[in-house]
Amino acid sequence: MPRASRVMRQVMDWRAAVIAGLLAGLLALLLRILLWVTVTGGSFWAPFYQSAAILLGPNSLAPVDAPQIGVVAVGVLVHMTLSLFYSLLLAFIIHRWGLVVGIVGGALFGVAIYVINYYTFTYLFPWFFPLRSWLVLATHVTFGALAGGIYEALERDIYVVEEPTGDSTSPA
């Protein structure tokens, strides 16, 4: 009997996914701060407090001019953790598809995250309901496009050998 050929399968590049998540998360946070301050005239610290409210509750959303370092740290931790989680999920979905699909698919993924977060999770976190806006949507789309694009730009071609199933290697 002829020996079955081995199959090569490309696997996700975890290193690229982590880097993409951290970079896209940082850049999306900076965009959100910039838009928040310039469009709404709100506090520079508000996006940090909004992220922190996921763990600390609605009391952490009180307006501030001088930041409470603990709340800001929690906000950064929550934002970056979610960015990392979402980028790992996105990389799992888009890997092997290339840069254009990474960017466009990532942008669509950002829309999906926005819809899920602000139209379903607001039942659990009702204090986020007023944050539904084009500004937050724009930052989610930007995050997704950046995460997908950065991942695809950094992705290394990593393959694993899959042995064929069945007993085709036994001598005849």
Residue written as tokens 């005239």? Answer: 41
In a domain, 169, yes or no: no
State the total domains in the chain: 1
Task: Report pTM.
Answer: 0.84
**In this structure, is residue 168 part of a structural domain?**
no
Structure tokens at 9: 């399968």
Q: For tokens 């942008």, what's the residue? A: 107
- When computed from its CA atoms, the radius of gyration of the chain, rounded to whole angstroms, is 21
Q: Rounded CA gap, 140 and 157, in Å?
A: 28
Using pLDDT thresholds of 50, 70 and 90, give the confidence band for residue 96.
Answer: confident
Q: Is residue 170 part of a domain?
A: no
How does pLDDT run across 47-92, given as a tens digit for each residue? Answer: 999 999 999 998 888 766 678 999 999 999 999 999 999 999 999 9
Residue 88 is predicted with a pLDDT of 97
> Could you read off the pLDDT of 133-161 as tens digits, one per residue?
999 999 999 999 999 999 999 997 765 66
Is residue 82 in a domain? Answer: yes
CB 7 within 8 A of CB 164: yes
| Phi-psi map region of 99: left, alpha, beta (phi>0 left; psi -120 to 50 alpha) | alpha
Measured in whole angstroms, the distance separating CA 130 from the mean position of its chain's CA atoms is 22
- Length of the chain equals 172
65 inside domain: yes
Give pLDDT, residue 99.
93
Residue 10 has a pLDDT of 66
- Please give the residue range of the domain that contains residue 98: 24-157
Residue 1 in any domain: the answer is no
Q: Is position 100 within any domain?
A: yes
Average pLDDT over residues 106-112: 98
